[in-house]
Chains A and B, each alone.
Chain A
Amino acid sequence: MIEATGVSWHYGANPVIDGVSVTARPGRVLGLIGPNGTGKTTLLRLLYGALRSPHGRVLVDGDALSSLPAREAARRLAVVVQETGGETALTVAELVLLGRGPHLSTFQRTGPADHEIAARCLTRVGAAHLGARAFASLSGGERQRVLIARALAQQATHLLLDEPTNHLDIRYQHEVLHLVRDLGTCSVVVLHDLNLAARYCDDLVLLGRHGVAAAGTTDEVLDPAVLEPVYGIGIRRLELDGAIHLLFHPIDQSIDRRIDERSAA
């Protein structure tokens, strides 16, 4: 469980996140959604301690994150960041094994159990065949899956992912998020695609220009009346076989008119 209370972050004089509180509950997937520039990634970074909020606090299973030693924090929080490390000369297997680091003492090297965990995690993301390849030689989608495998190999009690579906084709977008759901750990995911959020998240926090616009279960937040003013786009919600699907259409008539004028010209 991750509980953030009243956290803030400023880039220069502009507050990106200002007094925000979110809770990620055990065994549930929390999605952070919102338009560009509303601070989804910044909020996630506050949750795993890459940024330290000047006010408020972040508790991980009841302990203040700022008071946890780095290694202990890494045993509790596994993070997939957007920094890919694409220039590294490590092989895929070596990179995934680094995820075992927080569980090893300084003088300990990886053992058969660690190798088995790493191999299993590679298999889970469909990258078992890539083990001997140089990480730098992989495609964007392959890299993303390997980085997720490394986070899984950390076997942390929480998993935080910053737009994990970036660079992935539609099949792997679903496979990766399906995997996150299946893990049953407390997960926090920054997502752009609201339909992916609808299918794979239990709870959502919707960030708008002025902080948290809505928070609650996926069903509550994915309400056109809530979403439309934040995104500035028309939304229709359909429920097929008990699953929520969102359809989008422009509501700003002036945009339509401008497009019409341009095509007429």
Chain B
Amino acid sequence: MTATALSTGRDDLLGVAAQRRLTGLWLLALTVGLVLTGLVAVGTGAIGIAPATVARIIGYHLVGLPGEVTWTPPQEAIVWQVRLPRVLLGMLVGAGLAVCGVALQAMVRNVLADPYLLGINSGASSGAAAAILFGAGAGFGQYALSTSAFLGALAAALLVFLIARSGGRVTSIRLLLAGVAVGYALYATTSFLIFASGSAEGSRSVMFWLLGSLGLARWDALLLVAALVLGGTIIYLTVAGRRLDVLAIGDETAQTLGVSPDRFRMRLLVLVSLSVGVLVSAAGSIGFVGLVVPHLARRLVGAPHVRVVPVAALLGAILLVWADVVARVLLAPQEIPIGIITALLGAPFLLVLIRRLHATGA
């Protein structure tokens, strides 16, 4: 580390330019990885389609190229109507959960923060389930679902933070326990609402809310809303990177460096709740992505959020699409809920983190 900083020479006193080049390379590599992931994932399934054919079909739909049709109509329907929206939703969910994890970890100065562990996902599912049960505005459709999911997420997040905040400091143990308690209570509420509404086997089952699924993805308004909300969130968090750095150090430090900690935290909380609300109403509750991915991103490019946020978004997108591929093919033709795959990856990771916390006495 020291050697690289020294070898960067006089023009790059603090090694900033070298670090930016490294981040740029990672962003490029991950973007290429994401595109390849998309092509392979769309081609994978009961009927396999070569990535090159997938690329041609997508190119044909987007810009009318290439003019010559070399694929069958069923292939085209599978790629464009079924699998592409699903893969795109997977990318959005993965990227969104990852950056929400980054934002939450900075807000509470705790590496264990994650929308799923903190009960924000379950708040969103309660809100969405309530909207389904009480049939809020049929004409409003998907928007009613997302809006009430957002409100549920916000309420859950506020509740958890109020409980966890003891004397201005959020301790790991209180945060996790408050998240678990609020999460369980709200999942029970969600399940009750689903059964009460008599649609337990409907499009959004208890399984959907607990473990998530990308199976409902299609070209609809919800996908568009998710893309807009998450695009906005990722851009905002990247631009606010320096403020996130400062907030992650401490409230007093934030204030002396020109950031109003309470106002900024509230803004982040609304943004995270909005993202989680949209994601959960589209794909149910998928855990651990927001916990694991920020750590991987920091491993690659260091701690400054201006670098962590975009890298985490790309990593999260790639990770979730592959998790969905595994969920689809492992027990094919049966599909496993994607949350099982992410939990299998994430739970051991959480254990390692808890062990490390214990070791440092934090």
Question: Contacts A88-B249, A90-B245, A94-B303 hold; do A70 and B13 have CB atoms under 8 A apart?
Answer: no
Which residue on B lies nearest to A91, using beta carbons?
B302
* Shortest Cβ distance from residue B300 to the other chain A in the assembled complex, whole angstroms: 13
Given the contacts A93-B15, A131-B15, A102 and B5 also touching, CB distance less than 8 Å: no
- Which residues in B have their C-beta under 8 angstroms from that of A118? 13-14
Known: A87-B109, A94-B302, A118-B14. A74 touches B250 (CB 8 A): no
B13 adjacent to A74 (CB under 8 Å): no
- Cβ A79 vs Cβ B256 within 8 A: yes
Q: Do A74 and B257 form a contact, CB below 8 Å, given A87-B362, A98-B245, A104-B242?
A: yes
Say whether B248 faces chain A, with CB atoms less than 8 Å apart.
yes
Number of chain B residues close to chain A: CB under 8 A? 34
Task: Tell me the chain B residues, 10-27 only, with Cβ under 8 Å from chain A.
Answer: 11-16
Contact string against A for B residues 323-346, beta-carbon threshold 8 Å, 1 for contact and 0 otherwise? 000000000000000000000000
List A85-109 residues whose CB lies under 8 Å from chain B: 85, 87-91, 93-99, 101-102, 104, 106-107, 109
* A90-B304, A106-B239, A109-B306 known; A97+B256 contact, CB < 8 A: no
Residue of A nearest to B295 (CB): A89
Tell me which residues across on chain B come within 8 A of A131, comparing CB atoms: 5, 13-15
Q: How far is the CA of A79 from the CA of B249 in the complex (A)?
A: 14
Chain A residues with CB under 8 A of B109: 87
Band of interface residues on A: 35 or more
Contacts of A132 in B (CB 8 A): 1-2, 4-5, 15
B304, closest chain A residue (CB): A94
**CB-defined interface of A107-129 with B at 8 Å, one 1/0 digit per residue?**
10110100110110000000000
Complex A-B, nearest 7 residue pairs according to Cβ-Cβ distance, in ascending order: A74-B258, A85-B249, A89-B303, A71-B258, A93-B14, A79-B256, A119-B13
A residues adjacent to B (C-beta < 8 A): 48-50, 70-75, 77-79, 81, 83, 85, 87-91, 93-99, 101-102, 104, 106-107, 109-110, 112, 115-116, 118-119, 131-133, 154
